[in-house]
Chain A
Amino acid sequence: MNAAAELPLVHARGLIKRFDDLVAVDGIDFDVQKGEAFGFLGPNGAGKSSTMRMIGCVSPPSGGTLRVLGLDPVKNGADIRAQLGVVPQEDTLDLELTVRENMLIYGRYFGLGRKVVHERAERLLEFVQLEERLDSKVEPLSGGMKRRLTIARSLINEPDILLLDEPTTGLDPQARHVVWDRLHELKHRGATLLLTTHYMDEAEQLCDRLVVMDKGKIAAEGSPVELIRRYSTREVVELRFAAERPPDDLAARIDGLARRVETLSGRLLLYTDDGDRTAERVHELGVQAQSTLVRRSTLEDVFLHLTGRTLVDE
């Protein structure tokens, strides 16, 4: 990627994580540069969270090399963690404390002085638009508010790297957009973001560069646009059918109309450079689809092409 002399903030070579017989992360290589928004895209169980936990120094690697901020997580875990901001997949907010206290106490874990923590807490809670809930307990907050509080909390030590594990999983669409908006703002300020997601729209929105993970391995790497260009066509024609499986002979009939055809439950995807024209020709063949949709290629298509499966279980 970037041949600049600067050392990567995170550097992994042949990184492995094993749990008893299960290989969660199976020898992956990647580098994350300063100021980048770097994503791990893949379905549940691809090894994304395990990778994140190793970078966060809360899970020792089983093999390979890992350097975070130039340091070894096994030897310098506490020093590295002092420079990280962590937004875990599951909320781990302190239910016995108020919103403000969550910030103050978390800051104290980093050994920050009371005055500094107070000042930062006010500023960060304003940043995530929680300034009106300062003295509220955590429990009654909505899912989106809890997420935003977790993000504010992760920034209390002014981290060099922000680790976000599935930052918007479980949120309703509106709450997701608020979170994305805040993360965009952080990006503009030059923060280095590392995030995992199984939402292709989240990856497209936020990531400058990403790796597609499947079964503990990296299947592809690049920017969203590059990946789509490399592994998919410009457009896709989706034929939807009422039945679970499209008619058996259909694939043979439309063969040659598209560069590639994928058969999924209840739908057929035709990969083509000119969606409208392909849709027209399908229509001319007299194919009886319930509906036809022409759309742009997404990372979902990239994943499908690379693994033969969809990102979110159907």
Chain B
Amino acid sequence: MTTIALPRGAALFERNARAHRSHFLIIFSGFFEPLFYLLSMGVGLGHFVGKVPGPNGELISYASFIAPALLATAAMNGAIYDSSSVFWKMKYMKLYDSVLSTPLGPIDVAVGETSWALFRGLLYAIAFLTTVSVLGHVHSAWAVLALPAALLVGFAFAGMGIAGATFMRTWQDFEFLNLVQLPMFLFSATFYPLSVYPGWLQVVVRCTPLYNAISLIRGLMLGVVGWYQLVNVLYLLLFGAIGVRIAERRVGKLLLR
């Protein structure tokens, strides 16, 4: 199944690339958003905050602290943004109805859409990482691995995002997504260390996917790497794989009746 799924899903990737050629600006917005956060919060607010303790307790500039978190969030947002297009393609454009009447199956749709979301996430990550390194917020050669890490984060959220999009009934339902996405962005140790929370809340935050994404990328960009990053990687891999699987089943259930 999977041996033929990969090249077939690639046709859907090609379709998305063509469809986006005319509006590449949307892709740029995914790059500017984290940059604006970095400049306003990291540099502006950071002026008053001063130094904060990094993952190993060493004091670092506030901008260096939040830059990795913004990268992780950008990868998440990019992937989720794409998944909302899946909703539109499925419900209004009936794209997958035509795709499924060709040799492609639900798994090819899930793989094709996920890989496109990944590609977009990768573009954001490259642009953002280049910028922050120019601004001097990269502190270790491990930061090179932040790129594949961002890709992994994109995978985790793309799979789940596409799965989620298949449950949406109307555009209003996307408000629920915001309700999950925004608090996760604000509270997953993005803007301050986990240590500000009481013990039980730390455990809750550690279980969220974005916390794992931030923890992984922050470790790599600051050069504080340990076994814990491996846990993050496994978490994100599993989260994404479950998402792709759910997405495949949902597409099949909804369209192959």
Seen from chain A, the residues whose Cβ lies within 8 Å of a Cβ on chain B are 19, 56, 58-60, 77-79, 81-82, 84, 86, 88, 90-97, 101, 105-106, 108-111, 157
Contact code string B154-169 (vs A, CB < 8 Å = 1, else 0)? 0000000000000000
Beyond the given A92-B97, A94-B15, A94-B95, please list 4 additional residue pairs across the A-B interface where CB-CB is below 8 A: A78-B4, A90-B97, A105-B14, A109-B12
A72 CB to nearest chain B CB (Å) = 15
Q: Does B102 lie at the interface of the complex (its beta carbon under 8 Å from any beta carbon of A)? A: yes
Name the CB-closest residue of A to B22: A96
B19 CB to nearest chain A CB (Å) = 4
A10 CB to nearest chain B CB (Å) = 16
Partner of B19, one of A56, A60, A90, A96: A96
Q: Does B148 lie at the interface of the complex (its beta carbon under 8 Å from any beta carbon of A)? A: no
| Total B residues in contact with A, Cβ cutoff 8 Å | 24
Cβ-defined contact, A108 with B15, below 8 A: yes
Partner of B103, one of A60, A96, A105, A110: A110
Cβ-defined contact, A109 with B102, below 8 A: yes
Q: Considering the chains assembled together, what is the distance between the CA atoms of A91 and B98 in angstroms?
A: 9
Tell whether A58 pairs with B255 under 8 Å between CB atoms, given A106-B102, A111-B8. Answer: yes
Cβ-defined contact, B11 with A86, below 8 A: no
Cβ-defined contact, B97 with A111, below 8 A: no
Q: Does B100 lie at the interface of the complex (its beta carbon under 8 Å from any beta carbon of A)? A: yes
Q: Considering the chains assembled together, what is the distance between the CA atoms of A84 and B100 in angstroms?
A: 12
Cβ-defined contact, B94 with A92, below 8 A: yes
Contacting residues, chain B, for A84 (C-beta < 8 A): 101
Cβ-defined contact, A81 with B19, below 8 A: no
Cβ-defined contact, B257 with A59, below 8 A: yes
Q: Considering the chains assembled together, what is the distance between the CA atoms of A58 and B15 in angstroms?
A: 21
Contacting residues, chain A, for B102 (C-beta < 8 A): 81-82, 106, 109-110, 157
Contact code string B86-109 (vs A, CB < 8 Å = 1, else 0)? 000000011101111111110000
29 A–B contacts, CB within 8 A, in A order: A58-B97, A58-B256, A60-B256, A78-B104, A79-B103, A81-B102, A81-B103, A82-B102, A86-B98, A86-B101, A90-B94, A92-B93, A92-B95, A93-B98, A95-B93, A96-B19, A97-B15, A97-B18, A105-B11, A105-B14, A105-B15, A105-B18, A106-B98, A109-B8, A109-B12, A109-B102, A109-B104, A111-B7, A157-B102
